[in-house]
Amino acid sequence: MDAARFNNLVLPMSKKLLHFAFQMLHDTGEAEDAVQEVILKLWKIRDSLENYNSLEAFSMKITKNWCLDRLKAKKPIYIEGYHRGFDGLAAEENPQKQMEKKGKGIEKGGK
């Protein structure tokens, strides 16, 4: 497939791909990156694009997979034992509670 045919087939879908990517990522910059990557991937396999029944459906699938990969990459990773250090702090009384206890002890001792 030559560049002119590629431009006629692929570039008109870019707005639809951008909208789809934005719906998944909720970030304009990330969505633009997704579309750019999809178009680049399509360009690299341009000679086999005519084998697909629906180039638009194939492009949407590539976009969806790229977006899902980005979302997985942003997913927080649980680190085993990370919260154990905070559990000990939660068991201790906070400074305000400690001051209240000290204040009650003074009041009792003064009477």
DSSP 80: T
Q: Is the pLDDT of residue 72 over 70?
A: yes
> Average pLDDT in the 1-7 region?
89
Range of the domain at 24: 3-74
User: pLDDT value at position 80?
Assistant: 65
User: pLDDT value at position 88?
Assistant: 56
* CATH number of the domain residue 38 falls in: 1.10.1740.10
Residue 105 included in any domain: no
Residue type, 24: M
User: pLDDT value at position 73?
Assistant: 86
Q: How many domains in the chain?
A: 1
Residue 86 included in any domain: no
Task: Tell the burial category of 9 from Cβ atoms under 10 Å away from its Cβ (0-12, 13-18, 19+).
Answer: middle
Residue 23 included in any domain: yes
Report the alpha-carbon distance of residue 96 to residue 111 in Å, rounded.
23
Report the alpha-carbon distance of residue 18 to residue 60 in Å, rounded.
10
Residue 51 included in any domain: yes
Residue 30 included in any domain: yes
Residue 106 included in any domain: no
